[in-house]
Structure 1
Amino acid sequence: MSKTTPPSLHFFTILFFFTLPFHGNAQNITAQEQTILLQLKSYLSNPPYISHWIPSSDHCMWPEITCTNGRVTKLEIINVNITKTIPTFICDLKNLSYIDLHLNKIPESFPAVLYNCSNLEYLDLSQNLLVGRIPDDITRLSSRLQVLNLSINSFTGDIPASIGSFPQLKSLQLYSNLFNGSIPPEIGNLSNLEELNLNFNPFLPQAIPSREIPESVGNLTALEFLDLSENGLSGSIPNSLFLLKNLTVVYLYKNRLSGSIPRTVEALNLEVIDLSNNTLMGTIPDDYEKLTKLTGLALFFNQLSGEVPIGIGRLPSLIGYWVIQQ
C-alpha cells in the first residue's frame, strides 16, 4: 500500500523552497550595502569621524546610517569637514531616500551624480562650497523629492525654471547664495510647497527681466513660510499672497516693494508679517484685525498713512508691532 505525503507537508516544502533563495538574496544585498559604505569610507581617506565603520559591525547600527527593513535609507554626515565631491557610487544604495551632508566643504558644482538616486526624498547640501549655476536638468533628481536645501553656498545666475517641476516638493531653501539672475514664476507650480526661502541673494534689478513677486505665488496653496527679504524686489505685493490659507510667516523686508498692502486677508493662520523697509503706501488693511494668531507685525520704514486699525491693538497673541507712519 503506497504512502501519500500529507498536504501540509507539501505546503511546507513549497514554502521552504521559495524562502531560501529570498533569504540568500537579502544577505547579499546587506553585504553589498556595507561594501558600498566601506568604499565611501575609503574614498574619504578613512577619516576618524567614521572610524567605527568596520566590516565586523552592523552598518545599520552606525550613527550616520539609518536602515528600514534592513536596507540603507538615510545617510547623515554633518559638520566633519568633507572636502571631496560626492562619489558616483553613492546611489548604488538603491533605497537611499535621505541625504544630509550639510555644514561641510564639499566643492565644485551641483552633484549631478545624485540624479541616479531614484528614491531620493530629502537632500540637504547647505553650508558647503558648491559653485556655479543650478543646472537646468535638475529635474533629473527624483520626482519624489520633498526637501531641497542648497542654502549658504555660492550658486550664481538664475534659479532655473525647472525648479518648479517637483510635484512633491514641500521645502525649497536657496537663501544666502550669489544668485544674480531671475526668480522664475514656475515656482508657483509647486502646489505642495510649504517653505520657500530665497533671502540674502543679490538679485540685481538690471539682471531680472521680471523682478516682481509673481501673482502665481497664489498657486502655492500649501505654503506656510515665505522669506523673500533683502532681494531688491520691486513692484507690488500680489493680492493672491494673503489669500493662502496655510500661510503663517511672511518676510518681505528690505526690498523696493511699492503700492498698497493687499486689502483682503484670508490667511488667518498668520503669525508673523514683516513688510518693513519698503516704499509701501496707503493704509493698513482692516482685515489685519482678524489675525488672532498674529504675534509680530512690522511695517516701519514705509510711506503708510492713516490710522492704525484699533482692533490690531486688541489681537490676543500680538507681542509687538512696529508701524512708523509718515
Structure 2
Amino acid sequence: MISGSIPESIGKLSKLQKLGIVVNNIFGKIPSSIGNITGLSNLGAATNMLEGRIPTELGNCTNLQQLYLGSNRLTGKIPEQVIGIASLTIGLYLELNEFTGPLPSQVGNLKNLGALSISGNKLTGEIPSALGNCLVLEYLDLHGNFLDGAIPSSLNQLKGIRELNLSQNNLSGQIPEFLGKLPLMRLNLSHNMFEGEVPKVGVFNNISAFSVENYRTAPEACGRAPVP
C-alpha cells in the first residue's frame, strides 16, 4: 500500500495514458498539473484520502475514458470542465465524497458514457434535464444526496438504462410512468417524497427489482394506507 501525496511534478509525465493508485493511503489535493497530461485515458484514484476540490485543469484531459475518484474526501462543486469531458465513455465515479452544489448541466456532454455514480455526496437542486442526453447510459446512481424537484421527463431518452438509483433524496411529484417503459432491471426510488399512484408497467411489476419505501402513495396503488 502506497502512502503520500501526488506530487505537482506528475504533470511532467506528458505521455502518461493510465494512472492507477486505487485503495492506498494517498492524501492531500489532486495537483492542478495533472491537466498537463492531456493524453491520459484512465485515472483511478478511488478509495484514498484525497481532499479539496477537483482541479478544473483536469478538464484539459480530453482523452479520458474512465475517471474513478470515489471514496475520498473531495469537496466543493463538481467542476463543469470535468463533468463535461465528452471523451468519457466507460465510467465516471465520484461517489462517497463531500461534493456540494447542483449537478452541472454539462453532464449532458457525456453522450457516450456507460456508467455514472455520484451517490453519497451533498448535491442539491434538481436533476438537470441535460442528463437525458447521456443516451447510452446503462448505470446511473445519484442516491444519498439532497436533490429535489421532479424526475425530469428527459430521462425517457435513456433507452439503454439498466440500473437507476435515485433513493435517499428529496425528490417529489409523481413517479413518471415512462420509467416502466425503459429496460430497467433495477430501480430504487425509496426514501423520497413522491406522491400519487405507482405505475403498473415494466419494472414496477417486478417486486424484486423495484424499491419505493417511504412513498406517499394512493391507497389503491398498493392495497394499503399511505405512509403518514
Does TM, normalized by the shorter one, top 0.5?
A: yes
**Any residues of structure 2 matched to 1:31-46 within 5 Å, and which?**
none
Counterpart among 13, 19, 33 of residue 99 in structure 1: 19
Distance (whole Å) between structure 2 residues aligned to residue 186 and residue 103 of structure 1:
29
Q: Is the 8 A contact 1:83 1:104 kept in 2?
A: no
Counterpart among 200, 213, 216 of residue 300 in structure 1: 213
Counterpart among 199, 202, 215 of residue 285 in structure 1: 199
Return the TM-score normalized by structure 2. 0.88
Residue 52 of structure 2 is matched in structure 1 by: 132
Structure 2 residue 75 is matched with structure 1 residue 162 = no
Distance (whole Å) between structure 2 residues aligned to residue 245 and residue 267 of structure 1:
9
Counterpart among 138, 144, 153 of residue 230 in structure 1: 144
**Any residues of structure 2 matched to 1:60-75 within 5 Å, and which?**
none
Q: Is the 8 A contact 2:108 2:132 kept in 1?
A: yes
Structure 2 residue 62 is matched with structure 1 residue 118 = no
Q: Which has the higher helix share?
A: 1
Structure 2 residue 71 is matched with structure 1 residue 152 = yes
Structure 2 residue 134 is matched with structure 1 residue 220 = yes
Distance (whole Å) between structure 2 residues aligned to residue 144 and residue 252 of structure 1:
29
Q: Is the 8 A contact 2:145 2:168 kept in 1?
A: yes
C-alpha displacement at 1:113, in angstroms?
3.1
Counterpart among 174, 182, 185 of residue 105 in structure 2: 185
Which amino acid letter does the alignment assign opposite residue 82 of structure 1?
Answer: S
Which whole-Å deviations, capped at 9, do the CAs of 1:269-305 have from their partners, x for residues lacking one? 211000011110111223336878x851001211011
Distance (whole Å) between structure 2 residues aligned to residue 325 and residue 300 of structure 1:
11
Return the TM-score normalized by structure 1. 0.63
Q: Is the 8 A contact 2:218 2:225 kept in 1?
A: no
**What is the aligned-residue identity percentage?**
32
Which amino acid letter does the alignment assign opposite residue 47 of structure 2?
Answer: Q
C-alpha displacement at 1:87, in angstroms?
5.8
**SS in structure 2 at match of 1:199:** coil
Distance (whole Å) between structure 1 residues aligned to residue 6 and residue 195 of structure 2:
49
Q: Which has the higher strand share?
A: 2
Distance (whole Å) between structure 1 residues aligned to residue 203 and residue 141 of structure 2:
23
Comparing 191-200 with 81-90, greater Cα deviation is found at 81-90
**SS in structure 1 at match of 2:82:** helix
Counterpart among 243, 247, 251 of residue 165 in structure 2: 251
Which amino acid letter does the alignment assign opposite residue 9 of structure 2?
Answer: T
Distance (whole Å) between structure 2 residues aligned to residue 286 and residue 190 of structure 1:
31
Q: Is the 8 A contact 2:33 2:57 kept in 1?
A: no
Structure 2 residue 173 is matched with structure 1 residue 269 = no
C-alpha displacement at 1:123, in angstroms?
0.5
Distance (whole Å) between structure 2 residues aligned to residue 85 and residue 160 of structure 1:
20
Distance (whole Å) between structure 1 residues aligned to residue 95 and residue 187 of structure 2:
19
Q: Which runs of 5+ in 2 are unaligned?
A: none
Q: Is the 8 A contact 2:180 2:204 kept in 1?
A: no
State the Cα RMSD in Å: 2.6
> How many residues get paired?
226
Distance (whole Å) between structure 1 residues aligned to residue 204 and residue 187 of structure 2:
14
**Who wins on radius of gyration, i.e. which is larger?**
1
Is the alpha carbon distance of 1:266 and 1:246 closer, same or farther for their aligned partners in structure 2, counting shifts above 3 Å? farther
Which amino acid letter does the alignment assign opposite residue 25 of structure 2?
Answer: K
Is the alpha carbon distance of 1:230 and 1:259 closer, same or farther for their aligned partners in structure 2, counting shifts above 3 Å? same
